[in-house]
Amino acid sequence: MTDAPHIPVLLAEVIAALDVGAEAGSANQALIVDATFGAGGYARALLDRGAEVIAFDRDPGADPFARRLAQAYPDRFRLINRPFSELEAGLGDAGEDGCDGVVFDLGVSSMQLDEAERGFSFMRDGPLDMRMSQTGETAADLVNTAPEAELIRLFSLYGEEPTARRIAAGLVRRRSDTPFTRTLDLADTIERCVGGRRGAPTHPATRVFQALRIAVNDELDELESGLEAAERCLRPGGRLATVSFHSLEDRIVKGFLTERTGRLPSGSRHLPPVARGPEPSFSLKFTGAIGPQQTEIDANPRARSAKLRAAVRTDAPAWTSEPEGRRS
Ligand SMILES: C[S@@+](CC[C@H](N)C(=O)[O-])C[C@H]1O[C@@H](n2cnc3c(N)ncnc32)[C@H](O)[C@@H]1O
């Protein structure tokens, strides 16, 4: 574990979107949920500005970073080791009935990516694992047992991989002799399946690794549930900020905010009018998404695809009143 393992992305912009410090001097200290704690870059900045922070991370690897923050801020900081889809239950168990801000910084941390043993990277040899929570089915389990049609579906849907069929067929052929256990073996096999690198700027395994990571960690369902939970937990005037790193994540956030701000797609004059939903539960903090400045990309290339979106909770009821598992 290094001292500066993960450089927080769009930090100043995220803090501004959460409006922390706006309550300074008032009796009410803002309670902000950092739904993706990582190494705590956002949490520390929020605590430094006087907020109380409840953080979530499903990776037990976040614990050592949380212990340091808990020492520095014993009364204002807690880490809950649960997925953010359980944000509402986690807050409830912590004795809170709502919060003033929620931030999601999606995807993997530099610690997860850089540590070969976690199995996220096609650049480092390690076990084919990819589990953020370090429990459940691994990427190796998935690659070695999923039917070929399922692999095609995952690679196409979650990796937007144009040669999904060819890669899935190659992997199924290879695994019948020798199952996959290592990241570099999988990356090399994918490279052979597509006939080498052919001058492509990215490694041919990039999209398949993204797809496996999303599937193993159920990332897109987690995001949808997390946004809905944030909607239920945020008090009127509370702020939502999301930082996404690829189009699948951003599409979900954008779709959620389009719907919840009442800006439904206007539809076509050839189709029946789109029914209006309930009262908007959010208003946009700013239109569109904010990306990093060139100086940030130069200092931290991992920031290059980041997109920040932000919204403010209205006083309308949440559109979904209960977590999915409990709906009848
Ligand atoms: C990009 S990092 C966050 C970095 C953090 N903002 C910082 O400044 O250090 C994302 C973190 O979110 C966690 N994570 C991703 N999906 C999660 C989920 N559904 N529930 C809880 N934690 C999650 C990952 O384990 C990882 O540690």
pLDDT at 230: 98
Residue with CA at minimum distance from ligand 1 atom 3: 38
Task: Find tokens 């599937």 and name the residue.
Answer: 215
pLDDT at 328: 45
Rounded distance from Cα 202 to ligand 1 centre (Å): 24
| Candidate of 3, 11, 18, 36 to mutate for ligand 1, largest count of ligand atoms within 8 Å of Cβ | 36
**How far is the C-alpha of 231 from the C-alpha of 212, rounded, in Å?**
29
What do you get for the CA distance between the two ends of the chain, in Å? 45
Rounded distance from Cα 40 to ligand 1 centre (Å): 9
Neighbouring CB atoms inside 10 A of 188's CB total 14
pLDDT at 326: 56
- The C-alpha R_g of the chain, in whole angstroms, comes to 21
Residue with CA at minimum distance from ligand 1 atom 18: 83
Taken as a whole, the chain contains a residue count of 328
Q: Give this prediction's pTM.
A: 0.93
What number does the ligand 1 atom closest to the CA of 222 have? 19
Phi/psi at 101 (nearest 5 deg)? -165, 150
C-alpha distance from residue 153 to each of 21, 70, 119, 161, 222 (Å)? 46, 43, 22, 10, 19
Rounded distance from Cα 38 to ligand 1 centre (Å): 5
| Candidate of 14, 47, 109, 135 to mutate for ligand 1, largest count of ligand atoms within 8 Å of Cβ | 109
Q: Beta 307-313 vs 234-244: how paired, if at all? A: antiparallel
Rounded distance from Cα 50 to ligand 1 centre (Å): 22
Q: For ligand 1, say whether the CB of 105 is within 6 Å of any of its atoms.
A: yes
What number does the ligand 1 atom closest to the CA of 39 have? 9
Q: What angle do CA 5, 85, 310 make, to 5 degrees?
A: 70
What number does the ligand 1 atom closest to the CA of 40 have? 9
Rounded distance from Cα 108 to ligand 1 centre (Å): 6
Phi/psi at 80 (nearest 5 deg)? -110, 120
Residue with CA at minimum distance from ligand 1 atom 25: 59
What number does the ligand 1 atom closest to the CA of 62 have? 27
Q: For ligand 1, say whether the CB of 249 is within 6 Å of any of its atoms.
A: no
**Adjacent-strand bridge partners of 33:** 54, 102
From the number of C-beta atoms within 10 Å of its C-beta (0-12, 13-18, 19+), residue 79 rates as buried
Q: For ligand 1, say whether the CB of 222 is within 6 Å of any of its atoms.
A: yes
| Per-residue pLDDT of the chain in tens (328 residues, 90 and over written 9) | 445 589 999 999 999 999 997 555 455 589 999 999 999 999 999 999 999 999 999 999 999 999 999 999 999 999 999 999 999 999 999 999 999 999 999 999 999 999 999 999 999 999 999 999 999 999 999 999 999 999 999 999 999 999 999 999 999 999 999 999 999 999 999 999 988 877 777 899 999 999 999 999 999 999 999 999 999 999 999 999 999 999 999 999 999 999 999 987 655 566 666 667 799 999 999 999 999 999 999 999 999 999 999 999 999 999 987 776 655 4
Q: For ligand 1, say whether the CB of 142 is within 6 Å of any of its atoms.
A: no
Q: For ligand 1, say whether the CB of 41 is within 6 Å of any of its atoms.
A: yes
Q: For ligand 1, say whether the CB of 84 is within 6 Å of any of its atoms.
A: yes
Q: For ligand 1, say whether the CB of 309 is within 6 Å of any of its atoms.
A: no
pLDDT at 199: 73
Rounded distance from Cα 265 to ligand 1 centre (Å): 31
Task: Give 229's contacts (C-beta < 8 A, 6+ positions apart).
Answer: 84, 85, 86, 87, 88, 323
